[in-house]
Structure 1
Amino acid sequence: MKLISDFKDFLNDTVNLNQTRIDRLEDRVEVIKDSIRSSDWEPRISVFIEQGSWAHDTIIRPVDGGEFDADLLVKVHPVDGWSAAQYVKELGRVFRDSGRYGDKTVVYDYCVTITYADDCKIDVAPLVMDREYQGTLEVCNKREDKFEESQPVEFTRWIREKNGYSGNNSFRKATRLIKYIRDIKRRFSCQSVLLTTLIGHRIEWFDKDSSAFTDTPSALQTIMGRLDDWLQARADKPSVPNPTLPSQDFADLWNDTQYANFRNFVNKYRKWIDEAVEATDRSDSIEKWRRVFGDEFAKGENVAKAELSAMQRTSALLLQSAAHLDSLVDNIIDFGINVLPSWFKTPPHLQRRRRD
């Protein structure tokens, strides 16, 4: 069974990042923007760009109650003589020297991360425009001190296009659900940009208004089925090119063992999803969906299930009691016959007659 209403509740109550945290994220990002604008960071700012799951609207609530991640790009004009590492280091210095962010700041290879304990992490990364020629965009690799071409806006546009083909926001909903499976099960490794790209490639323009994406569980079943078929046809790690920058292979985020593990578990979860959809009894279907998502799925069913279990235990007890009574009666009859006085038993001549 599809249990469409249960999926809606599951997404709203468990999977989706709640609106309160989204509002708080947006407020914090605005403060970060103001802090950068008013700082002595030398690059001239063009615009701020949302990136990643936040921009794609596929961000989910952390399953462990910890922080979620959001990405913010600072698109800037180039500074003469600056190396790639300098953009990141200098941005890190600005945050470290700040009274507001000093104890929240860590500088990584491409970004500066601001951590709000038990809530969220905001990665702020420089994006240099028009450095070599007009129209180029480059992120900054501090570790290797080099510029790397990037197309974040075009990638977000591609994601939105795929979501439009799926209809009913199905691409985003299915992506959140698959991310939830990844995070709650912890059985495979797949970074969000790679996972989102793999899912996006499973949707085409002709899927628009098709029954394969008519609702959330249908979209999930369709995507997992197509993804599994694609993976099973590729025993060795394949290429997963960035759809907007073919020179970038997202499969580099895996090693061979991680790919093999991902391939195996997608196959397993695909089968579990098919079994949950094919179940004809509601209780059976819920149990099968819980095998995929855990006990938070259809959690309102817990009381009804407990009551049913109590009834089943009572019925079993009654059946056992009845069987015990039958056995007791048989034992009493056998006992009564065995202890009858000899004068009450059948006379020998009648016993012979009966045998005759």
Structure 2
Amino acid sequence: MLIPDREAEKWDKTHPLEQIRWTVEKNKNCNTHYINVVKALKWWRKTQYPDMKHPKSYPLEHFIGDCCPDDIKSVAEGVVLTLENIVSQYTNKPFLADRGVPEHDVFARITDEEYSDFYDTVCDAAKIAREAFDCEELYDSVCKWRELFGNEFPPAPKPSKSNSSTGFTTRTEKSAAIPEGRFA
């Protein structure tokens, strides 16, 4: 399919069906967490760095797709590993081949300076995300996630004697016996 490139005043190739197919496959390979990793990191970028010009939208989603490992067990793990992969593998702006039109660089309109600014924010975010992920206590972990994602990230309940670090209320009495017989 062809779409207009207004700046270059020409028509460009695109293949949205291949992008969709790739995303569906990636989400399956990530135990259905990939789409939410993308949403979380787009939210982080939009709310914490609203004045940063690039990357955003599809270029950011594409980059997350290249950096998010398969077989993640949670969105939190995906966020941490994606940020850490950007830091370790992409010090300089990469060429990101479009999924459907490989000769197109998804990052072509991003300057080296814009990428460098983005990379610096990712370095800081990766440290905070790793601290949040590795926290033993729920309250401390949530505080770190809020540091990363902002105050719209739900607050943790204050630690108390009645709730443990996992966020579950401490059991105070036995459960009733389960009756025998069919349940369906």
Q: Does the C-alpha gap of structure 1 residues 300 and 241 become closer, same or farther in structure 2, counting only changes over 3 Å?
A: same
The answer as to whether partners of 2:98 and 2:106 remain within 8 angstroms in 1 is yes
Equivalents in 2 of 1:297, 1:220: separation in Å? Answer: 14
Cα deviation code 1:56-100 (max 9, x no counterpart): xxxxxxxxxxxxxxxxxxxxxxxxxxxxxxxxxxxxxxxxxxxxx
Q: List runs of 5+ in structure 1 lacking aligned partners.
A: 1-136, 308-356
The higher radius of gyration belongs to: 1
Runs of 5+ unmatched residues, structure 2: 161-184
Cα distance per residue 1:1-59 (max 9 Å; x no partner): xxxxxxxxxxxxxxxxxxxxxxxxxxxxxxxxxxxxxxxxxxxxxxxxxxxxxxxxxxx
Of 65, 70, 75 in structure 2, the residue corresponding to residue 216 of structure 1 is 75
Q: In structure 2, what is the equivalent of residue 275 of structure 1?
A: 131
* Aligned CA distance change for structure 1 residues 284 and 144 (closer, same or farther; 3 Å): closer
Cα pair distance change 1:146/1:269, threshold 3 Å: same
**How far has the Cα of 1:178 moved from its partner?**
0.2
- Structure 2 distance, partners of 1:173, 1:283, is 22
1:96-175 to structure 2, matched below 5 A, reads: 137-142=1-6, 144-167=8-31, 169-175=32-38
Are 1:194 and 2:59 matched, yes or no?
yes
Alignment correspondent of 2:47:
184
Deviation digits for residues 254-282 of structure 1 (CA, Å, limit 9, x no counterpart): 11111001111111101100011122222
| Structure 1 pair 300–267 and aligned structure 2 pair: CA distance change class (3 A) | closer
Q: TM-score, normalised by structure 2?
A: 0.77
Identity between Structure 1 and Structure 2 (%):
22
Name the aligned partner's letter for residue 90 of structure 2: L
The structure richer in helix per residue is 1
In the superposition, the TM-score normalised over structure 1's length comes to: 0.41
Matches of 2:61 and 2:88, distance apart in 1: 17
| Number of equivalent positions | 158
Is structure 2 residue 113 aligned with structure 1 residue 257?
A: yes
- 1:267-306 residue pairs with structure 2 within 5 A? 267-299=123-155, 301=157, 304=158
In 2, distance between residues paired with 1:192 and 1:165? 22
**DSSP 3-state at the match of 1:252:** coil
Q: Distance in 1 between matches of 2:156 and 2:67?
A: 33
8 Å contact 2:80–2:130 — kept in the other structure? yes
Q: Distance in 1 between matches of 2:129 and 2:38?
A: 15
- Which protein has the bigger strand share? 1
Aligned-pair Cα RMSD in Å: 2.1
AA in 1 matched with 2:128: W
Between the aligned partners of 1:277 and 1:155, the Cα distance in structure 2 is 30
Counterpart secondary structure, 2:55: coil
Please report how far the alpha carbon of residue 241 of structure 1 lies from its aligned counterpart in structure 2 after TM superposition.
1.5
